[in-house]
Structure formats: C-alpha cells, structure tokens
Amino acid sequence: MDKGGFGWDMIRATVTDFRPLSVDGWSKRGGSIVGREDEPWGVCLDGSYLRGPGYFVNPHKQWDTRGGFELTPRGLTFQYNPSTMEHPWHLTTKVEPMANTIMEDAGRVGVDFDIDSARLGRVDLTRQAVMDSPCRAFIPAFTAMRGKRSKDTRYPDGYSFGNKSWKTVFYDKTRQATKVKGVQGMPANVVRCELRVMQSKNIGHTVRGLGIGTFKDVREMHPEAVKDAYTRSVESKVFRLGESTQLVLDFNTEVELLTQLRTEHERGAVDRYIAMEGIESIIHRFGDMTLFGDALQQAGWSERQARRHLNRFKEILDAKAFIDQRRQTATIATRIQELRNTFIA
C-alpha cells in the first residue's frame, strides 16, 4: 500500500489573535458556577461578550464543519485531520486543501484569524501498510522492543508507547475502520504506526520533535522532510529492543560471565556468549542493547570495542530474521525486523 501510506493524521493549533463575529450557535463549555455571573474575557464584533470557560464547535455538528473549533481565554484552537478529509483510510502529506477548508469553516462559524501564525499544540504523523498478519500478532515484538522513557500499554488489537510529550501507537486500522466506522472495501491487516507529538516545545524541538512551530512551518515543510522527522523520532523512541529494566537479568552475574569468557577466549568471547545464550534470550534478558554495551565495558572491553560488538549483534539479529523468514518461522526477531522494514526503512 504505497499510495496513501504516509501522512498527517491530525493537527491541532492555537492562535491568540482572532476576531469573532459572534458565538451565536456555538456550544458552551461547562464549569460555570450557578448563581454567579461569569466575568467577560473578550468581545465579539457584534458587541456581545465572551464569558465563562469557553465555547466550542464539534466536527459535523453546527455548520457541518470538517474539524473542531474551541474558544477559551487562552485563544482559538482548531483541530483537523487532513487525511480523512480526502479518503477514509489513505494518508496524505498535502496540507493546502486542509488549510483552505479550515478558513472556509472559520468563515461559517464566524471567526477570523491568521492561520499561518497558529502555534502547534499537537501533531499526529502516521504510516500504514498491509501486513501478512493482524496487528495483535506483533504484540510479543512490541513487548520486546519497549519504549524510551515511556509507559507501555497493551490492547487487544494494538500496543502503545509514550508519555506526556509523545506517544507511538500501533493499531489495526482495518478493524477500526470496518467495525467502528463502518468503512467498506478496506484491505485486511492494515497496521498503522501513529506518532503523536504533544506540546509546542516538543513539536518544535529539532532532535526530539519535528522541528516545526507554526502552521506556516507545516505548509512549508517538504513531504520528505516530514517523513524523515517521523522516521527519526519513531526509531529513537520505539525500536530499541527494550528498556533497561528486565527483571530476569542479574547484571553482575552477566558481567562476571562475560569477564570469564574474555579471559579465556579474548578474541571470540562475545560470539561464544551469543552462541551460549541465544539471540532472543539476550534480547529478553537485557532489553535495551545499551545495557548490553554497558555490561561489555564493565567486563573489560573499551567503548569502541563494545560499540563494534553491538553492531555485530545487530547484524546477527538481521541474519537470524532473514533465515527465520526463509524457514517461514515467525519469531520475535523476524517480527521486529518486519516492523522496522515497514515503518522506519
């Protein structure tokens, strides 16, 4: 599924400089105190005051807008999904059709603003592909990978990694689209890897985030740059072969074993260790390969040597995945490699 396989899944942004004609027809947010008049915090062009916690317009409700709007003392926030505006499940990197729709909807609900100045508050980027198995078949691989400084959550048909700043969600798009939304004619086993980046400072960070801050940046960002930012972020946050907290690992014992092997077989010690323990056992026991590198250094290898051995380990893991695929054997190694080749290649 190359067509529609990557794109913007959701954009939420806020402007502080806006001109509301009227909020007649908008819904009011809850939170006002009975018997107490709310203080005004703004005024509309028709002379009416903006009061209370705020106002909102939900998608496909009042005025049949394609996205949502919210007015609060903090500003005007809009939230749109450019991909679903064009196709029920294909993804797109085009943003101009969405920008035009946002301003058309803004005119209908009675508010004017400079869309390019809107500060990004959340950005969802998504990649999807037709897999040979449903999403739930990859859950053992998700469990082995673990996320970087994240809380991981398992679902019946998916898995999520993340915290308050970011979240990466793998889920069965076919099931969601057909069972929940009633979409017809969708291929089986469409798996999505959705990257959600929250908060302006994280979205704008050039290393941890996407390096964009405003809606203008979104419009000017080249599609390949968008994809590169997504790939870099997902690879660093998720495809790490596990976090360094495996309960089955006695770190000191492993260091002692590696030290003994290094003393007895200095040139082939690491290969002997891998042969003794097995690749998948090492993945489960150490989790994050950074921890494996720490063990190598504590056992006497230099940082450069440890890094070389880690690269060698990854090569062996790739080779095992290839062999397992040739044997048509689905293992954690093959599943991880399949996910890597699909979503960050």
pLDDT at 145: 75
Domain ranges of the chain: 6-237, 251-343
- Give CA–CA dist 200/208, Å, rounded: 12
pLDDT in tens, the chain (345 residues): 456 799 999 999 999 999 999 999 999 998 777 778 889 999 999 999 999 999 999 999 989 999 999 999 999 999 999 999 989 899 999 999 999 999 999 999 999 999 999 999 999 999 999 998 899 888 888 887 765 567 888 888 889 999 989 999 999 999 989 888 888 889 999 999 999 999 999 999 887 789 999 999 999 999 999 999 999 999 888 876 544 434 345 677 888 888 998 888 878 898 888 888 877 777 766 755 777 888 898 889 999 999 898 888 888 877 777 776 666 566 777 788 889 889 987
The pLDDT value recorded for residue 246 is: 40
DSSP states of 14-52: EES-EEES--TTPEEPS-PPTTSPPPEEEE-TTSPEEES
Q: Is the dihedral of CA 18, 20, 26, 31 positive or negative?
A: positive
Beta-ladder partners of 50: 42
Long-range contacts of 261-270 (CB under 8 A, 24+ apart): 262/299, 262/300, 262/301, 270/296, 270/309, 270/312, 270/313
Got the DSSP string for 63-86?
A: GG-SSEEEEETTEEEEEE-TTTTT
Per-residue pLDDT at 227: 94
Can you give the pLDDT at residue 48? Answer: 94
Predicted confidence at residue 1, as pLDDT, reads: 43
Q: What is the pLDDT of residue 271?
A: 87
Helix ranges (H only) for 122-186 are 139-145, 173-175
Give residue 83's pLDDT: 93
d(CA 10, CA 13): 10
| Structure confidence at residue 286 (pLDDT) | 72
